[in-house]
Chains A and B, each alone.
Chain A
Amino acid sequence: MLKVPEHQVAGHIAKEGKLGPLVDDRGRFYKPLQGDARGENEAKFYESFSSNKNVPDHIRGYFPVYHGVQLAEASDGSGKLPHMVLEDVVSGYVKPSVMDVKIGSRTWYPDVSEEYFNKCIKKDSATTTISLGFRVSGLKIFDCQESRFWRPEKRVVLAYKVDGARMALRKFVSSNPSADSVPDCAYASEVYGGSNGILAKLLELKAWFETQTLYHFNSCSILMVYENESGGDDERRAQVKLVDFAHVLDGNGVIDHNFFGGLCSFIKFIQDILESSDNRCENGH
């Protein structure tokens, strides 16, 4: 039985008769192949990536596992459509906080149509993409104090400027994200820090991006997830995954300098929050 995912923060949503991804109860995520070239391109990427011997194993862990293409009942009632079957990154979490961050100082790339270019550059200018090299696409944070999820409206998220992005990244690791008061960054060291924390994972990814010339990850996002349910082992199980490969192209011997630059900028933001939370971030702005 397929149902609408509970914790999706960005991308098309299968709601109110719209076409969108679905999940099953066995940890799989069904992403409908969109009629245009994008779905085809994403499937092509997954096929290439899964069989690419030049991708080191420890890097493979940052990508959703691919289970091929299957026919499934589409969420908009249009019958059986091909769907890419992927690992559901948030299955196995009881109360996940999730954030989607689109990486790169531009979401367009060479040889796109003028129309697509204009659409991208307009969005890149209106958000923090050009200034920061990344933008927050969506977030859903568990508010431990209110015991409920806090999810700001999409148009609010897309209007974030530099301060808004910083605040979102602080709220992401706070126990009081929905409050108007300063985020307490209570979980910064558990989620961002440590040898298995998000920063360590981002640094591992960065090292790969310094030299990999296999793919250019145009318009891709980094998904950050961690557990809020206290389950005795107190493990946050923070995860970093790259998602959304509809615009990936061959690297052709050149590194993905666009993604790399944005990733480094994102890493700096996380490092700053970690450092200031070590000195308490209550007096931040």
Chain B
Amino acid sequence: MHLKAPEHQVAGHIAKDGKPGPLVDDKGRFFKPLQGDSRGEIEVKFYESFSSNTEIPDHIRRYFPVYHGTQAVEGSDGAAMIVLENLLSQYSKPSVMDVKMGSRTWYPEASEEYIQKCLRKDARSTTVSSGFRISGFEVYDHKELSFWKPDRKLLNGIKVDGVRLALRKFVSSNTLSDTSSKPDSAFASSVYGGSNGVLTQLLELKTWFENQTFYHFNSCSILIIYENESIHDDGARAQVKLVDFAHVHDGNGVIDHNFLGGLCSFINFVRDILQSSDESTDN
């Protein structure tokens, strides 16, 4: 089994200083190290529950990574890893964005320390104001023929206008590192729009969230992926996936109003960009 670090990770833990990070193989699988505390356990418990939950409609199941159980992996000290579908294996030049959903990332069952840490981060970012924050993104520049990723620190400090700009840059083809030119939003309709685009997928998820009381997806992210290779001929093949289930709790008969509110806000941002890119005739 040939394992290596994933190429396009935009958020979450990476392999650093001897601490294990995620790995991918050449068979379309993603290996996520089980985090030492209860988080890894919670994530496994979620995936086990979700995969066998017969009340999850098929059209919703597609928004979640396929789960392949846990496995001890050589070279990681026998530590167990969660084996998932590698969401990027079918893409040759993917642009990826990670959006953490919800106007709060903490939840009542968490420790006081964790709640305080989250409150600080939520207040500093757009989480409290907008109901979501962009954790990271990487976009392919069609002119420079290379990937561009904004500085992490810069991203942490953005406000509402910065979010709008990032969402435009994410679907643009022009030189992104050059801050003097406005993003052209060239791929807005192929990525965000259309009957299979991001907006349609988000709206489908929203309908499920209006009723599902199985899980509360605390601190979960929505990953947006699209293909840049032959985008003009073959389309963007945009996909929306929910990821990061280390803090998921039972819904206990209550809808995930925190995630739902944030999702609806995010949908509005995407819709605004789609509409303004459809209307714009200038750059």
* Residues of B with C-beta under 8 A to A258: 103, 131, 261
What is the CA–CA distance of A268 and B211 in the complex, to the nearest angstrom? Answer: 7
Chain A interface SS verdict (over half):
helix
* Residues of B with C-beta under 8 A to A260: 260-261, 264-265
Shortest CB-to-CB span from A144 to chain B, Å, is 29
Are A261 and B261 within 8 A (Cβ)?
yes
Give the total of A residues in contact with B, Cβ under 8 Å: 24
Q: Which residues of B246-283 are within 8 A (CB) of A?
A: 252-255, 257-258, 260-262, 264-265, 268, 272
* Residues of A with C-beta under 8 A to B213: 268
A130 in the interface (beta carbon within 8 A): yes
The segment out of A94-102, A190-198, A248-256 that lies at the interface is: A248-256
Are A210 and B261 within 8 A (Cβ)?
no
Are A264 and B257 within 8 A (Cβ)?
yes
From B160, B253, B258, give the contact of A261 (CB < 8 A): B258
A139 in the interface (beta carbon within 8 A): no
Tell whether A110 pairs with B261 under 8 Å between CB atoms, given A213-B268, A268-B213: no
Binding site for A on B (CB under 8 A): 103-104, 108, 123, 128-131, 160, 210-211, 213, 252-255, 257-258, 260-262, 264-265, 268, 272
Binding site for B on A (CB under 8 A): 105-106, 110, 125, 130-133, 162, 210-211, 213, 252-255, 257-258, 260-262, 264-265, 268
From B129, B253, B255, give the contact of A110 (CB < 8 A): B129
What is the CA–CA distance of A265 and B213 in the complex, to the nearest angstrom? Answer: 10
**Given A130-B108, A255-B268, list of 16 further CB < 8 A pairs?**
A105-B104, A105-B258, A131-B254, A132-B254, A210-B264, A213-B268, A253-B272, A254-B130, A254-B160, A255-B265, A257-B103, A257-B130, A257-B261, A260-B265, A264-B210, A264-B261
Q: Residue among B123, B262, B268 with the most chain A CB within 10 A?
A: B268
Shortest CB-to-CB span from B20 to chain A, Å, is 34
Are A132 and B108 within 8 A (Cβ)?
no
Please list 6 pairs of residues, one from A and one from B, whose beta carbons are closer than 8 Å in the complex, sorted by A's number.
A105-B257, A106-B103, A110-B129, A131-B254, A162-B254, A262-B257
Are B129 and A133 within 8 A (Cβ)?
no
Are A257 and B255 within 8 A (Cβ)?
no
* Residues of B with C-beta under 8 A to A262: 257, 261
Tell whether A211 pairs with B253 under 8 Å between CB atoms, given A254-B160, A257-B262, A260-B261: no
Closest residue on chain A to residue B119 by CB atoms? A121
What is the CA–CA distance of A252 and B164 in the complex, to the nearest angstrom? Answer: 13
* Residues of B with C-beta under 8 A to A210: 264, 268
Are A264 and B160 within 8 A (Cβ)?
no
Are B255 and A268 within 8 A (Cβ)?
yes
Q: Residue among A130, A258, A260, A261 with the most chain B CB within 10 A?
A: A261
Closest residue on chain B to residue A165 by CB atoms? B254
* Residues of A with C-beta under 8 A to B265: 254-255, 257, 260
Are A106 and B104 within 8 A (Cβ)?
yes
Tell whether A255 pairs with B264 under 8 Å between CB atoms, given A105-B103, A110-B123, A110-B128: yes
What is the CA–CA distance of A115 and B259 in the complex, to the nearest angstrom? Answer: 27
